[in-house]
Amino acid sequence: MGEFLTHRFIMCSPAPDFISLDCSTTNRPAVEVISDEDTDFQGGFISALPHKGNEKAVFTANESMISSLSEDEDEEENLWEEEQLKKGISKRIDEGSNRTATSDVPLHPHQQPQVYAYHGGIPLSLVPPTIGPASSVDTLPMSQQAELAKKALQENVKRLKESHAKTVSSLAKTDDNLTASLMSITSLESSLSAAGEKYVFMQKLRDFISVICDFMQEKGSLIEEIVDQMKELNEKHASAILERRVADNNDEMVEQGASVKAAMAVLKQGSSTSEIAAATSAALAASASIRQQAQSVKLDELGRDENFQKRREAERRAAARQKRRARFENKRASAMEIDGSDASEEYSQLSRVKARFEKWKRDYSSTYRDAYMSLTVPSIFSPYVRLELLKWDPLHQEVDFFDMEWHGLLFNYGKPEDGDDFAPDDTDANLVPELVEKVAIPILHHQIVHCWDILSTRETKNAVAATSLVTNYVSASSEALAELFTAIRSRLVEAVAAITVPTWGPLVLKAVPNAPQVSAYRFGTSVRLMRNICMWKDIMALPVLEDLALSELLFGKVLPHVRSISSNIHDAVTRTEKIVASLSGVWTGQSVTRTHSRLLQPLVDCILTLGENLEKRHASGLDDAETMGLARRLKRMLVELHEHDHAREIVRTFNHKEAVW
């Protein structure tokens, strides 16, 4: 009947098997809740367990709880409470022996704290069960008791660490969620601010586009009117030049034609000195007759002098041409002084308009793309480009687009600010080529068709440069470029067809006054046209040039003239040199490496014929020094034509010392 004291700590909350001792709501003292920290000092004590039939248990609480009990409690009620306590304590002791095996299982976070019975400072739950009679923990060695206490403490620390780790993890997740929420709020605030800025920008842009459309509709028509006036003035200027040239040629040819006809009628009878003199007199008489007819009085049915009227009309036409020319120059000067218009700089300055649309593309590229602005900006910018191109005179000056303001502003329009190239699908990269095709090429096309003087070397050189310039921007498949090439070829064909080169013989040239000058002038015109045609070698196809310069002009009109004066060996050699020089760079010259065209064979044959004539003179001993000089000139022409074998033959014939290079 040994008795042992069992110490019991009362935790924060009652055990799951707690049995209430209160049977009524009256005369029951309140139980004070004791914290974990106070259990070492305020723990309740349980008296010795029942032994040998004397089942009496004494429950001892702390002083505060004992003092709170009423001494007047009914003895029967006390006995009942003691009985319930004994049942509870017996159950605790039985459960304590089985709790050691399951001590590794952590408590559920919501599980109620357990109440442990201690004996001698060792939890009874950690005491291993014994077989046989009940034994006390006190019977265990002190080392085992310490080991059990140590394990209990280690388990508690382990559970505390696990709980702490879970708490820290939960705190970190909460902190991450809070950070993400704050970032979302900041992002939404930024998006809201950006949406507000975008709305304001788009509203201003809508108003800007609305105004600029009205502006373009009004100013565009004025620009078109100025362009039409410039075209008309250029056409009149070119027509005046052409009319004057045609009139001069007609007057000259009519007078010379009558003189040649009269001289040839006399020369048919012979070629003596007297007959040549007679032919000259007949030519002069015919020329005088033509001039007299133009100045004679010819009355119409109303008695008016028709010739006088014609002279007055000619004078008026001349005066009108002078006035038109002066008016043209004034208009041209005023057009070149145009810097803007009476509109606000926001709309009149190309740089301001360009900056507005570039900002739209840079800040809101998706809406810029959805609005198909890449297809619209050429129409918006074209009036500004057209206004500046009023100063562009492609036939009288060679100007590169790089020297123009519009090109400098729009060349990199829409290009990324970081310096990267345009994206493959960014059609803004074709802005300048599209403006060249829509604005510059039509201007050049009109100049070529209506204003180009093909016989002018300066205008032809500038026309070639301007055509080469626009070709660098526009693809070969461009319809506008194809129409330009067609216009150029048509004008060249017309010019070749209009050329007339006299084939008057030496006697006619000797007998008819001014006939040599007219013949030489006509020959010079044809050679100049041939040289101008060759300027298109880098633009026009070679077969086209061969057909125009060689087949039609050289073989059809120029070489017959040279053959007609071949008896005048000096003039014939000189004019043949001009022919070879006009073909330089295309069919003649050291820079030409390809084999000469078969169409050049008539020219080679003509040179060889002249060489045979020189050989006859050399054999007769006439003017030997001049003959040797002319032979050297023929040799150089054959070298230019890459006819080295024929050149060596001339060297052998005339015993030249220099080698053929």
Helices and strands in the chain, H and E counts: 23, 5
pTM of the predicted structure, to 2 decimals: 0.62
Burial annotation 195-208 (CB, 10 A radius, 16+ → b, else e): eeeeeebeeebeeb
In 3D space, the residue among 383, 339, 342, 334 whose CA is nearest the CA of residue 233 turns out to be: 334
| pLDDT (0 to 100) of residue 448 | 95
pLDDT for position 661: 56
Q: Among residues 289, 299, 258, 265, which one has the least CA distance to residue 279?
A: 265
Distances (CA, A) of 587 to 228, 468, 593, 636: 41, 21, 9, 15
DSSP, res 60: E
Residues 459, 128: Cα–Cα separation, whole Å = 122
Q: For the purposes of burial, counting CB atoms within 10 Å of the CB of 82, is it exposed (0-12), middle (13-18) or buried (19 or more)?
A: middle
d(CA 549, CA 527): 10
Low-confidence ranges of the chain (pLDDT < 70): 1-78, 81-82, 84-138, 244-256, 269-271, 290-322, 324-340, 342-343, 419, 594-596, 622-623, 658-661
For residue 537, how many C-alpha atoms fall within 13 Å in the half-sphere facing its CB? 14
Phi and psi dihedrals of 652, rounded to 5? -65, -40
Residue 69 has a pLDDT of: 45
Predicted pLDDT of residue 11: 39
Helices 569-582/624-640 angle, 10° precision: 20
Q: Which long-range contacts (CB under 8 A, 24 or more apart) does 93-97 make?
A: 93/6, 93/117, 93/124, 95/125, 96/123, 96/124, 96/125, 96/127, 97/124, 97/125, 97/127, 97/128, 97/129
The four Cα atoms 606, 611, 613, 615 give a dihedral, to 10 degrees, of -160
Contact (CB, 8 A) for 353 and 409: no
pLDDT for the residue 310: 64
Judge whether 566 and 613 are in contact, CB under 8 Å: yes
Whole-angstrom Cα distance, residue 461 to residue 484? 16
> In b/e form, how buried is each residue of 433-458, taking b as 16+ CB within 10 angstroms?
bbbbbbbbbbbbbbbbbbbbbbbbee
Neighbours of 223 (CB within 10 A): 19
130 touches 139 (CB < 8 A): no
> Which H helix or E strand runs over 119?
strand 117-119
Count, residues in the chain: 661
Residues 390 and 230 sit within 8 Å (Cβ to Cβ): yes
Measured distance CA(57)–CA(59) in Å, rounded? 6
Query: Which residues is 44 bridged to in the sheet?
Result: 8
Q: First-to-last CA distance in the chain?
A: 147
- List pLDDT tens digits, range 606-630: 999 999 999 888 787 766 788 888 9
pLDDT score for 145: 84
According to the model, what pLDDT value does residue 633 have? 93
